[in-house]
Amino acid sequence: MNTNHRRIKINVSWKWGLFFFLMSVAFSSCIDDFDVKKLQDTPRLVLYCFPTEGDTTLIVVTKSLPVSSFKGDIDTQSRLTVDASVVYKVNGMPQEVKRIENIKEAQSFSQVSDSWSLSTLIGQYYAVGKQKAGDKIEVQVSADGLSEVSASTSIPKKVDVNIGDIHLKEKSSDHDVYFSVDKLEATFSDPASTTDYYSVKVTRKQKYGNLKGVPKEGNRWQYDVYANNYQDYLNYLGREDEYEWCFDSLASNIVWPEMVTTSEPLINKKSELDDDFGFDEYKYFDDVYIFNDRTINGQTYTMHLEVNSNDSYWHTYDGWDRLFGFTYNVQLCKVTPEYYRFLKSINDAQSNSWADAGLMQVTPTYSNVKGGFGVVAGFNVCEASKYIAPLPSAPSDNQGGIYTK
């Protein structure tokens, strides 16, 4: 491996949708590769900001740690906030910038509820001001003892996506996959006049938890019961003692099922050469699948997405789908070139088995922040959902149901 490069840990944060994607990686120890010469002696500002349409934009500011002189816990030190002056401009006009001061305020930027995760956002910054597709965004940050940094991006126009047929519990197109998959069709129209970059993600929303049953009048048992799953619920229904069921005792849960990329050329990075050498297939960071329009420019295109059927679907532990059904959601995100290059550089680094084997040089993580590290990159997301109604019984593997348009 080239000795001019060395892997170090810094904190990476960004947002997806309503900052949901942000919290999946907020202040996680993500591996970044930088030129070690830039990290020898002088700390530098690290800036992450991902603008989209709306009126509030999170700005994460930390500082790098010199590799030659640093001593201590790198995870703890790299989480420390920086007292900085932050300028955020929309089309050249400065916007109000505030700091997150408490857990309650941090909750506005996250769907995560645990105090520790929220506490990592306290002391970070956010800009207040409406912004829309086509707007140019500029961010400048300065702090005592550190060089000023700056970066710019824009907010792209969103591209609509629609969900077509969904096939449940079928055999995967990847012969190396031994679990059943649900197959989704997602259609969008790519603009012909521009080079465009995207990411796609599939989520599933379903019920989970314990269903509470309250004894009806005349029931000989005077205590509440709880059904842990659908089969428990059926067992209680078959008894003489009757209960009033409190369906609001269940909560909604969002899961990210594992995706199989073989069936979709836009995101299939599996290489026969890698297979020949026994290397792992391409890894997408946080299961966000990026692609460009090089092969589909100007076309109306239907993606064929396969996700693991067994990731909570008809799961015996909390299988409430048989009673309530569930909802599939496809998020198609139009991203700027800098957003795409940033994610691609992380994907390439974590998927580079050739570099791990000493056969190829590690590529540094992309940054567009002048004078420092990090990235400022715009995006715009469109979501489509389809509700899957409960079936009379669970479909068997490879003989699943189909939900048409």
pLDDT at 114: 76
- Identify which has the larger pLDDT, 20 or 232: 232
Q: Does the pLDDT at position 345 exceed 50?
A: yes
Domain of residue 390 covers 161-208+253-332+384-403
Q: Are residues 191 and 287 in the same domain?
A: yes
- Domain identity same for 95 and 202: no
Regarding whether 263 and 165 lie in a shared domain, the answer is yes
Number of domains in the chain: 3
Cα distance between residue 277 and residue 271, in whole Å: 10
**DSSP letter (8 states) at residue 113:** -
> Exposed/middle/buried for 138, CB within 10 Å: 0-12, 13-18, 19+?
middle
Burial class (CB in 10 A: 0-12, 13-18, 19+), 321: buried
* CB-CB contact of 196 with 231 (8 Å): no
pTM of model > 0.75: yes
Q: Which of 336, 339, 353, 346 is nearest to 10 (CA)?
A: 346
Which residue do the tokens 């300028």 mark? 87
Decide which of 249, 275, 304 is a domain's last residue.
249
Rounded to the nearest 5°, which phi and psi values hold at 227? -95, 120
Percentages helix, strand, coil for the chain, rounded to the nearest 5? 15, 40, 45
Q: Give residue-wise pLDDT tens across range 132-164.
A: 999 999 999 999 999 999 999 999 999 999 999
In tens, the pLDDT along 89-137 reads 999 999 999 999 999 888 888 767 778 778 888 999 999 999 999 999 9
Do residues 114 and 217 share a domain? no
CA distance 365 to 367: 7
Regarding whether 122 and 29 lie in a shared domain, the answer is: yes
- Beta strand pairing call for 326-335 and 402-403: unpaired
Co-location of 130 and 188 in the same domain: no
